């Protein structure tokens, strides 16, 4: 169980969760309920590749390299950021990259030319990172749980806007969440409060930001 829990924790790192959500919704058939909205599945393959590339760079590679450099310079005691206070600057880095990605899409494809989800995911990441910066002053809130909450919230929000949709995608989101939360609790990395609060906040923010983003800009 120890090895399984560690494997689950590495496979479902928070940095990877937006990528998993995009892969599931870009390449599995779906159809938007509103004909005025562009379907993710119907995007040209070349555009899908470009979108995925930008997400991989800004939400996985760039933050990951930043964290490794911080560890090598002694700013982090471990790459898992076990100390609560060590998480503040990495969270700020994640916040910065998410904001950059959001405004990159907004600048290059304004007025929601792309499907709303392309804008909502980085915005969600930025909001979650900001709230977790505030909460980290008191809790070592689970970032893994937050990543799982983002995945589940994204799939639920996406499914609610479709007339053609594979409902088992939502099941995947909740099963993944269960695995991640169980792994973090089994490894004794967090208290139940830190795990469940992290997941709930991320789920709620993701769902709401996707539903209300068009009214904010």
Provide φ and ψ at 173, rounded to 5°: -60, -45
* Half-sphere exposure at residue 193, Cβ-oriented, CA atoms within 13 angstroms: 4
Asked if 31 contacts 39 with a C-beta cutoff of 8 angstroms, the reply is yes
At 212, the pLDDT band (50, 70, 90 cuts) reads confident
DSSP code for 212: H
What pLDDT score does 215 carry? Answer: 54
Q: What are phi and psi of 129, to 5 degrees?
A: -60, -40
Strands annotated E in 7-98: 31-32
Q: What is the pLDDT of residue 79?
A: 67
The pLDDT-based confidence of 174 (bands split at 50, 70, 90) is very high
Q: What is the mean pLDDT of residues 137-146?
A: 87
Q: How far is CA 190 from the centre of its chain?
A: 19
Q: Which token pair is 9? A: 């924790």
pLDDT tens per residue, range 151-168:
999 999 999 888 888 889
pLDDT tens profile 39-88:
899 999 999 999 999 999 999 999 989 888 888 887 777 767 767 777 88
Q: What is the mean pLDDT of the chain?
A: 89
Tell me the β-bridge partners of 162.
32
The pLDDT value given to residue 73: 83
How many separate domains does the chain show? 1
Q: What is the pLDDT of residue 150?
A: 95
CA-nearest of 150, 134, 159 to 209 is: 150
Per DSSP (E only), the strands in the chain are 31-32, 162-164
Domain interval for residue 108: 2-216
pLDDT at 113: 87
pTM over 0.85: yes
């Amino acid at each position: 169980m120890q090895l399984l829990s560690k494997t689950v924790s590495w496979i479902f790192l928070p940095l990877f969760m937006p990528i998993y959500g995009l892969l599931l919704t870009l390449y599995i058939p779906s159809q938007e309920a509103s004909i005025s909205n562009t379907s993710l599945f119907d995007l040209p393959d070349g555009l899908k590749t470009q979108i995925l590339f930008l997400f991989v760079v800004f939400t996985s590679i760039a933050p990951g390299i930043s964290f490794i450099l911080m560890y090598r310079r002694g700013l982090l005691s471990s790459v898992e950021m076990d100390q609560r206070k060590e998480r503040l600057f990495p969270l700020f880095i994640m916040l910065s990259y998410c904001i950059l990605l959001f405004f990159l899409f907004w600048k290059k494809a304004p007025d929601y030319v792309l499907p709303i989800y392309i804008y909502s995911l980085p915005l969600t990441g930025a909001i979650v990172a900001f709230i977790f910066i505030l909460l980290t002053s008191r809790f070592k809130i689970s970032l893994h749980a937050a990543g799982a909450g983002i995945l589940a919230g994204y799939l639920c929000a996406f499914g609610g806007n479709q007339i053609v949709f594979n409902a088992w995608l939502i099941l995947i989101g909740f099963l993944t969440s269960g695995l991640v939360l169980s792994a973090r609790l089994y490894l004794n990395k967090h208290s139940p409060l830190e795990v469940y609060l992290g997941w709930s906040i991320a789920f709620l923010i993701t769902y709401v930001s996707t539903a209300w983003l068009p009214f904010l800009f």
